[in-house]
Amino acid sequence: MRSFLIPIHLNIHICVLCFHMYLQMQINGFISIFSEMEPRQGRASQEQQMALLEFMENHGDLAKPQPGPQGRLLSNQLWTDLTELLNSMGGGVLKSTEKWKKVWADWKTKTKKKAILIKRHTSGTGGGPSNGLTLTAPEERLIAIMGVNAVEGQPNISELGFNVSYFSYLE
């Protein structure tokens, strides 16, 4: 087998060219990654939130399954209509249907958590100072859409906790 030697200055030049090409590919890839990202969108305006709430009051919580054999199609159409309504409002943000679904889900989660904290504090023992939390009028409307059971639970179903007699029964 015959060995082939390349002068060292050519080896360095080839390495520099290869490294330069590698850097160009990395930079181009880096730029293309960020150019494909959606720009950060702001929060929905108060008018958009109120329109979202009113739409849900009129059509029911679209996050829940719609009744009937065409329920999913109806739900998708209503979300599309809602997206068009919210995006057409001046002074607000533009979001996709998926982003508006996330806004609705996040708002429900936040409100439910707040309502549970208030309920837990008022039913607690001890007479400490109030935690100062109260539901706003829109949050109360949202709770009404979700249903009181979403916060308070089913009235006829007792919660199971750690019950010593239950665990002793297992032994």
pTM, two decimals, is 0.64
The candidate with the shortest Cα–Cα distance to 41, out of 96, 80, 90, is 96
pLDDT of residue 9: 56
- Residue for token pair 């249903």: 147
Token pair recorded at residue 20:
């330069």
Residue 151: its pLDDT value, please?
73
C-beta neighbour count of 108 within 10 angstroms: 19
pLDDT tens-digit profile, the chain (171 residues):
555 566 665 566 565 656 656 656 565 554 444 444 445 578 999 999 999 999 999 998 888 887 888 888 999 999 999 999 999 998 889 999 999 999 999 999 999 999 988 888 877 766 666 677 889 999 999 999 998 777 776 666 665 655 555 555 555
Place of tokens 């150019």: 35
CA neighbor of 101 nearest in space, from 120, 83, 127: 83
Instruction: State which amino acid sits at residue 128.
Output: G
Nearest Cα to Cα of residue 141 among 18, 28, 56: 56
Structural tokens at position 31: 């730029």
